[in-house]
Structure 1
Amino acid sequence: MSVYTPLSHRQLAAVLDGYGFRLRDYRAASHGIENSTFLIEAEDRHQQPAPLVLTVFETLTHAALAPYLVLLAHLAEQGLPVPAPLTDHGGQDQITVAGKPAVLMPRLPGEHDFAVDLDRCRQVGALLAQLHQCATGTLQTLPGERQRLETLASHLDQLPDDHREGAKALLSDWQARPTGTTLIHGDLFRDNLLWQQGRISALLDFYNACLDYPEYDLAVTLNDWCVDRNGKPVAEREQALLEGYRESSGQVDDSLLLEALAVAALRFWLSRLAGPVSEHSEGQGSKDPEEFARIFQWRIAALAG
């Protein structure tokens, strides 16, 4: 991910010492746009290699971060390929680094790989189905996607004239729906998965997770995995992802999915308009809003019939 809070070798070594690790090497991760993330090579107290990830949160407070850490531990216990937070010598699962909340986690095996084929789409669909079936009774309250959408609505005036009114109406209709009750990831883009030997090895970045409709989560995912460079949906990929989802006991309301695809495209168009590239970051910064402008055009046209 982009680094907004640079840390020195000495600072990172001090952080790891609080967990019983010794720093060997580190580098800033290059994917993502919201937080500062460091990939760390360390040794444990038995001098065994310990690959780790330190994330410094740029906007979340300690209190706001807590429900997500409970979620990660919960999902890891249920067998999903999710990294659970480590605890320091004081038993804390979050610390303060450079005045900001931070979390240390084990680095799961695998690498980012942005290739897309039908088998990978099926795997992604199956993983989403597994996530959507997780129990939520023991979780702490998570911020809702509807709250994020309400905040992003303030940027609707940045849209071109020919899309502004339609986007407002779409968002209003969606917000009027009762909120769904399924646990969703909310951000399953290709940079939030790791792969090892062609199989998913890790699902990352749950800081948009919430309770809502599974169709919305599918829509976010389909809009990244199953479109071409012009934002046009690729039918074969969509079919593969949805087949993987249904084969793993996921259920889909097709009409709701059609609307969710347009809403999800609008959501990420607006969020990219709201988050310009930081001049103070090291890494990729925010992504191009026009990518989702193109996707939105295809999705809103399909919804209009």
Structure 2
Amino acid sequence: MSVYTRIETEHLARLLARFELTLKGAEAARHGIENSTFLIDADTASGEPRPVVLTVFEQFDGAALAPYLELLASLAAAGLPVPAALSDDHGQRLFEVVGKPAVLTPRLPGGHCFEPEVPHCQQIGALLARLHRQPSAPARALTDERQRLDTFAHHLCRLSEGDQMHARQILEQWAGVDPGDVPVHADLFRDNALFDDQGRLTGVLDFYNACLERPEYDLAVALNDWAVAHDGRPVPRRQAALLAAYRDAGGHWDESILALALAVAALRFWLSRLAGPVSEQSEGEGSKDPSEFARIFGYRFSALGGVEASAPFG
């Protein structure tokens, strides 16, 4: 992920010592836009390699983070491939780095897949079905995704009049859909999943947009990244593979609500990208191109019987 907070090597070594780890090396991760993330090579007290990840949160405070850490602990205990936070020598999972909240997690094996094929989509669909079957209680204290959408809607004024009209149509329809009560990731993009050299899913990262919502919304977020071409057009075989695997793993969805959710999710990430980078003082990506989701929104809106949204910024 992008790096906004810089940490001296000596500070990092002292931090790892609280977890009985010795620093061997570290580098900034470059994908994502919200937090400062460091990939760390460390050794245990017995000399065994113990790769970990340090995440420094640029927008959350400690109180807001606590329920996300509880959710991750619950999901890890249920056997999902997620990085639950480690505890230091005082039993603390949450600590401060340069005055900002931070956590240390195991570094799950594998790498990102940015050119997904059918098998990758199938595994993402099956994973989402497992996630949606988990108890809702651990996610009940999390921020509602519709609240986030309301916040990002402040950027509608940056779209053309036509795009604003289409967006408001979609938001009005979505407001009439009852919220769901299943735990959703809400940000399962390609840079939040890991696969090994054999193409097997080994990890799902970044649950800090997780909440309770309808399963169709989580499916829509994933489909808008895993099952679209570079120009934003849906790729039917990948979309069908993800949905079939989701169904085979016990998932259920409403087709009409999914069609609407695909447009809503595209609009959400179009608007959030228009919101810009967290900081101008960053190393790495900093922000992502809003026009990507402008195009996806156009295709999803058209599929609902409308016309395509205007290109890039309206």
TM-score of the superposed pair, with normalisation by structure 2: 0.95
Identity of aligned residues (%): 56
> What is the match of residue 302 of structure 2?
301
Offset at residue 98 of structure 1 (A): 0.5
> What is the match of residue 23 of structure 1?
23
Query: Is the Cα contact below 8 Å between 1:278 and 1:286 reproduced in 2?
Result: no
Offset at residue 278 of structure 1 (A): 3.8
Query: Is the Cα contact below 8 Å between 1:70 and 1:140 reproduced in 2?
Result: no
> Structure 2 matches for 1:33-182, cutoff 5 A?
33-139=33-139, 141-182=141-182
CA distance in 2 between partners of 1:198 and 1:153 (Å): 37
Equivalenced residues, count: 305
Residues 167-176 or 265-274, more deviating: 167-176
> What is the match of residue 268 of structure 1?
269
Offset at residue 140 of structure 1 (A): 5.1
Query: Is the Cα contact below 8 Å between 2:139 and 2:211 reproduced in 1?
Result: no
> What is the match of residue 312 of structure 2?
none
Query: Is the Cα contact below 8 Å between 1:262 and 1:300 reproduced in 2?
Result: yes
Query: Is the Cα contact below 8 Å between 2:227 and 2:236 reproduced in 1?
Result: yes
Q: CA, structure 1 residues 138+269, in 2 after alignment: closer, same or farther (shift >3 Å)?
A: closer
Where in structure 1 do 4 or more consecutive aligned residues deviate above 4 Å? none
> What is the match of residue 237 of structure 1?
238
> Structure 2 matches for 1:183-262, cutoff 5 A?
183-196=183-196, 197-262=198-263
Q: Which residue type is aligned with residue 204 of structure 2? A: L
Q: Which residue type is aligned with residue 273 of structure 1? A: L
Offset at residue 120 of structure 1 (A): 1.0
Q: Which residue type is aligned with residue 225 of structure 1? A: W
The root-mean-square deviation of aligned C-alpha atoms, in Å, is: 1.1
Q: CA, structure 1 residues 33+116, in 2 after alignment: closer, same or farther (shift >3 Å)?
A: same
TM-score of the superposed pair, with normalisation by structure 1: 0.98
Offset at residue 4 of structure 1 (A): 0.2
Aligned partner of residue 49 in structure 1, secondary structure: coil
Query: Is the Cα contact below 8 Å between 1:277 and 1:287 reproduced in 2?
Result: no
Offset at residue 100 of structure 1 (A): 0.2
Q: CA, structure 1 residues 277+134, in 2 after alignment: closer, same or farther (shift >3 Å)?
A: closer
Offset at residue 109 of structure 1 (A): 1.1
CA distance in 1 between partners of 2:49 and 2:237 (Å): 42
Q: List alignment gaps of at least 5 residues for structure 1.
A: none
